[in-house]
Amino acid sequence: MSIGILETGRPAPALASRHGDYVEMAAGLLAAGAPTPLPEVARFAVIDGEFPDSATRCDAWVVTGSRHSATEEAPWMLRLEALLREAVAAGRPVIGLCFGHQILAKALGGRVEPSPFGWQLGLQDYRVVDAPDWLAGLGPTIGLNAIHQDHVSVVPPGARLLATAPHCPNAALVYGKAAISFQGHPEFTRDFERDLLALYGGDTLPADRAGQALAAMEGGGLTADALTIADALRRFIAEK
């Protein structure tokens, strides 16, 4: 089995040198708590136009986060949307993380827009609405790190709402047995989120919201819910 990670963005070099890049974080999430090593992981820098030759090149796909907006409709984004549609049609499991959540929804007929609630930063709680059996173990809420100002405003046909919040109504979606996506970042450790907020607070990010999010951050490593999600995602991939 092989897992293809579609790289749609990169952290600042100062952050990457300490925490790794988004591909490494996604692979780290899938490996977190695993009893055996991950299967082969292949990296495709789609942000640079590096695409697999087929949606069946790998047995499963992960779409990373990005500083870019899915509303930009850059050529590489439109090509990525086509690839995701092909992967879903071919029965290759797809996992979307933040930007990946948005571009997957857009590819499958949903809509992505700037959120009326503005930036969402730091550890956020989402209410679990309807979890499939393979996500057993989730509590009534999940806590994930977040950094986004766009959101999925219209859910694609056939998608089911997994988790929601007042500030992020469509926070996680399940597409039958084909795909799952999260607006939050299960792959972000709390240490990375803190460094990210500290670096961009008062610059790209509003200083007041970044400061509030930083003040509320506790602990280190992945959140407990991210570890539960990691185990579920491995089952999701293996069952295909």
Mind telling me the catalytic residues?
98, 185, 187
Residues 6+ apart with CB under 8 A from 78: none
Residue type, position 171, single letter: A
User: Could you tell me which of 176, 186, 185, 196 has the C-alpha nearest to residue 227?
Assistant: 186
- What is each CA distance from 219 to 156, 188, 189, 193, in whole angstroms? 36, 13, 10, 11
User: Three-state SS for 143?
Assistant: strand
Residues 6+ apart with CB under 8 A from 74: 68
Contact assessment for residue 115 and residue 166, using Cβ atoms and an 8 Å cutoff: no
∠ CA(206), CA(208), CA(213), 5° rounding?
95
